[in-house]
């Protein structure tokens, strides 16, 4: 009888130990996720966009900026020639990229119509519909 009791105690201790280790690793994993997200947001450069006719540039520090007329866009343009979701400016591979979202009138970068995503540089001119947007800073 004591051998059976000893076996049960050993099994309970082993299960408790594995449960503790599982909880500890899960807690470490969650903590690493939180810290990696905060570090990635700190490393994200600021994007300054100057919209034609506005006095001050708009500052963005997010991974993606949607441009268009729709209320869900980050950069809303009050221009009837701009599509609801016209273009996307996204930070990938250490650079800011501009991409047309199959807009009706097209997206232009420095007077060239986009057919694929392109890397942006300071001083670039984006045209969505009749509205011009200037890249003032990418850092």
Provide the pLDDT for residue 3. 84
pLDDT score, position 53: 87
Burial 13-38 (b: 16+ CB within 10 A, else e): eeeeeeeeeeeeeeeeeeeeeeeeee
pLDDT for 33: 85
Give me the pLDDT at residue 44, please: 79
* pLDDT given for residue 122 in this prediction: 92
Q: What dihedral do alpha carbons 84, 85, 89, 91 form, nearest 10°? A: 140
pLDDT tens digits, one per residue of 42-55? 577 889 999 998 88
pLDDT confidence of residue 135: 92
DSSP annotation of 105:
S
From the list 45, 47, 54, the residue with the least C-alpha distance to 122 is 47
Structure pTM?
0.69
| Element at 58 (helix H, strand E) | strand 58-60
Write out residues in the chain with pLDDT < 50, as ranges.
none
Q: Are 103 and 83 in contact (CB under 8 A)?
A: yes
């Amino acid at each position: 009888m004591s051998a059976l009791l000893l076996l049960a105690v050993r099994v309970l201790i082993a299960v408790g130990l594995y449960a503790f280790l599982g909880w500890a690793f899960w807690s470490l994993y969650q903590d690493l996720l939180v810290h990696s997200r905060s570090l990635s947001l700190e490393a994200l450069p600021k994007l300054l966009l100057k919209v034609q006719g506005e006095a001050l540039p708009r500052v963005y520090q997010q991974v993606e900026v949607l441009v268009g007329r729709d209320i869900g866009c980050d950069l809303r343009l009050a221009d009837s020639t701009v599509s609801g979701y016209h273009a996307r400016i996204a930070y990938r591979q250490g650079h800011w990229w501009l991409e047309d979202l199959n807009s009706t009138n097209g997206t232009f970068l420095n007077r060239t119509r986009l057919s694929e995503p392109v890397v942006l540089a300071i001083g670039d001119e984006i045209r969505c519909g009749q509205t011009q947007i200037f890249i003032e800073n990418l850092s």
